[in-house]
Each structure stands twice: as C-alpha cells, then as structure tokens.
C-alpha cells in the first residue's frame, strides 16, 4: 500500500481521514471515531449541515430539487460518515416518515393525487438513511418488507416494474441492497431473513459482471465505468465494488473484470481522478472533475485491500 498516498488522504477532509484510518490503517475505533466527530464541525459535513432549512429540510423539498433536496443531502452525509446520532439528521429522518411513509409500506414523496404507489429506488434510499442514522421506528420493518416484496424473478429490483418492466435495473438494485444492508446492521436479528434476499440481489449484479450485459458480455452503458462521487441515484462499477467490500461479501470471480477496470484507472502517481457526475443543482462540489480525487483514491484503495486480502 502506498504510504505517500495514505498521507495525502489523511491531509484531506475529516470525512476522508476517519475512513482512511478505519479502512486502510485499521486503527482502533477510539482513534477514528474522534476524527469522525469532526465532520459536523468542519469541512464538507459542516458546510452541508449549515445549509439545512429551519424546518429540517434541505433545498426546500424532500426529494427535489435535485440535488440539493433533503434526500440527496442526507445521502451525501451518510456516505461521508456523519455520526448516526447527529441531531440535524434525526430531524430529517422524522420528516421522511411523516411525509413519505405510504399505505403500501414503502416511501412515496410525490403527489399522492397522481402517484398511487411507493417508488422503489427512493424507498431503498430512505431505508438506508433511516437505518444508518438509527431512527428506530416500527415502520422501518414495513419498509423493508415492502422492498422484499418488490424483488423481481431475476433477483434485482426495478422502480418501473409497475409499468411492466421484467428485467431489473442496476440503479434500483444497488439502492435497495444498500438499504437492506443498513437495515440488517441496525437489526441484526433480521439477518437470517434478509441475507437470502440480498444474496439474490448480489447474484443479479454478478451475472452482469457488475457492469456488462449478461447476454452479450459488452458494456451496456459507458457511464457505469466512470467514478463520480457522490453517485446520487446512479449505479457505477465502483459503487458496486465498494458496497461488496463494505458488507464483506464473498469474493466471486465475476467481480474480476470490475477489479481490473479499477486498476486500469489508477494514474502513475497511484491516485484516481474524479469523474463528472450527474448534472443538476448542488450546494458545492466536494471535488473537481478531472482532478486527483481523495474520494476515489480512498474507495479504490479499500476495495483493492479487501480484494487482495
């Protein structure tokens, strides 16, 4: 492991430092948690928390406008590792259930006069937020059950299944898998029930070698091979790899193509650059596209560390 690049990572934002200490240096929790607590007080975390509206929302809305709304700001705060007990995040979690919990057990943040069912992608996102931030509410179990009921025959999920879609979407699937994994972490007694569901979702992604057509073996969307951060709702191969390492998934030879793609993107200085993400409104860029990226270098290094162990 490149000590020079680890030092470079540790010169970054607290959200980078604490994850580097945990995932690359294997420091004890007492060390990296002290660094983690700084997220709410300085750097990217504080800047995002300072944007919260007086009513507990961000950007004036729950799901829109993209990407300054409550949902997308909270997704970023989760990814950078804001401590779960943060009061401002807890306020937003309460709003998700008050305004989003729907009669079918999922999450519907749209006009209910028009939208008559929950949206699977968003339900997965919100479950990941509610469980990551440890918002204990009985409705979380209904949300998880709703997502399990939406799993398709091929093992994945698709938010357009209600329109007749028969093949799962990698975008929907990764959001649901992240949500169910956080749910399992919060409620370990549910592990026996959730693990088989997640395993079927893993198999769906693995049949695609994480970014290829299961029919032709070709890349089915070049955007899947890029490395933006934060990913918003979009799937990409590094998001998938980072999910698999986070949950200590069993290594599978069908991940090898994605691992080799990741290695091929490493620059001569041992770092990875930031790719352009989705267009839309944003409070600020965490990092600039085309420049060496601490986020991508951190994520790539911990994925490769997991793989090579």
pLDDT in tens, 115-130: 899 999 999 999 999 9
CB contact at 8 A, 221 and 171: no
pLDDT at residue 121, as a whole number = 98
Least confident of 103-117, 242-256, 267-281, 292-306: 103-117
pLDDT value for 210: 98
Instruction: Express each pLDDT in 137-154 by its tens digit.
Output: 999 999 999 999 999 999
Domain borders along the chain are: 208-309
Sign of the four-CA dihedral 222, 243, 158, 276: negative
- Tell me the two tokens of residue 23: 């995932």
Question: Is the Cβ–Cβ distance between 21 and 29 less than 8 Å?
Answer: no
**What is the Cα–Cα distance from 63 to 67, expressed in whole angstroms?**
8
In Å, how far are 62, 123, 245 from 248, measured between CA atoms? 32, 24, 5
How much is the pLDDT for 114? 86
Residue 179 has which token pair? 């949500």
**8 Å CB contact between 4 and 270:** yes
Contact status, residue 204 vs residue 154, Cβ threshold 8 Å: yes
Mean pLDDT for 297-309 is 97
Task: Indicate the pTM of the whole model.
Answer: 0.98
Q: Identify whether the C-beta of residue 172 lies closer than 8 Å to the C-beta of residue 120.
A: yes
Is the Cβ–Cβ distance between 262 and 242 less than 8 Å? Answer: no
Dump the DSSP string for 95-131.
HHHHHHB-TTSSB--S-TTT--S--HHHHHHHHHHHH
- Return the C-alpha torsion angle 164, 169, 172, 178, nearest 10: 140
The whole-chain average pLDDT of the chain stands at 97
Question: Model confidence over 34-56: pLDDT tens digits?
Answer: 999 999 999 999 999 999 999 99
pLDDT score for 113:
78
Q: What's the whole-number mean pLDDT along residues 161-173? A: 95
Using the structure block, give the residue that is written with the tokens 């085309």: 290
DSSP three-state, residue 83? coil
- pLDDT number for residue 17: 98
What's the residue count for the chain? 309
| pLDDT for residue 225 is more than 80 | yes
Q: At what angle do helices 294-308 and 3-10 cross, to 10 degrees?
A: 130
Can you tell me the distance from the alpha carbon of 127 to that of 181, in angstroms, rounded to the nearest whole number?
10
Kindly tell me if the per-residue pLDDT of 207 is higher than 80. Answer: yes
Q: Sort residue 23 into left (φ over 0), alpha (ψ -120 to 50) or beta.
A: alpha
**pLDDT (tens digit, 9 = 90+) per residue, 58-106?**
999 999 999 999 999 999 999 999 999 999 999 999 999 999 999 999 9
Q: What is the pLDDT of residue 3?
A: 86
pLDDT at 1: 67
């Amino acid at each position: 492991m490149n000590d020079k690049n680890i030092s470079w990572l540790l010169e970054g934002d607290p959200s980078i430092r604490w994850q580097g200490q945990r995932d690359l240096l294997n420091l004890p929790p007492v060390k990296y948690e002290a660094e983690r607590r700084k997220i709410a007080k300085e750097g990217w975390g504080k800047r995002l928390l300072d944007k919260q509206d007086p009513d507990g929302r961000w950007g004036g809305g729950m799901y829109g406008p993209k990407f300054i709304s409550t949902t997308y700001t909270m997704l970023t705060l989760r990814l950078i590792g804001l401590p779960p007990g943060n009061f401002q995040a807890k306020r937003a979690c309460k709003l998700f259930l008050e305004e989003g919990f729907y009669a079918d057990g999922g999450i519907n943040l749209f006009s209910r006069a028009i939208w008559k069912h929950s949206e699977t992608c968003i339900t997965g996102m919100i479950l990941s937020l509610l469980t990551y931030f440890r918002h204990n509410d009985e409705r979380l179990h209904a949300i998880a059950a709703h997502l399990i009921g939406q799993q398709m025959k091929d093992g994945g999920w698709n938010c357009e299944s209600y329109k007749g879609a028969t093949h799962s979407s990698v975008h929907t699937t990764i959001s649901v898998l992240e949500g169910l994994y956080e749910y399992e972490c919060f409620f370990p007694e549910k592990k026996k029930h959730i693990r088989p569901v997640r395993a079927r979702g893993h198999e769906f992604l693995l049949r695609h070698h994480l970014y290829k057509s299961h029919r032709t073996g070709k890349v089915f969307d070049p955007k899947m091979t890029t490395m933006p951060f934060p990913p918003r709702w979009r799937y990409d191969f590094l998001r998938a790899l980072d999910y698999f390492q986070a949950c200590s998934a069993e290594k599978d030879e069908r991940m090898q193509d994605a691992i080799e793609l990741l290695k091929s993107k490493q620059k001569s200085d041992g770092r990875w650059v930031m790719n352009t993400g989705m267009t839309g409104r944003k409070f600020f860029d965490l990092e600039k596209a085309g420049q060496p990226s601490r986020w991508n270098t951190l994520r790539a290094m911990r994925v490769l560390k997991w793989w090579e162990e």
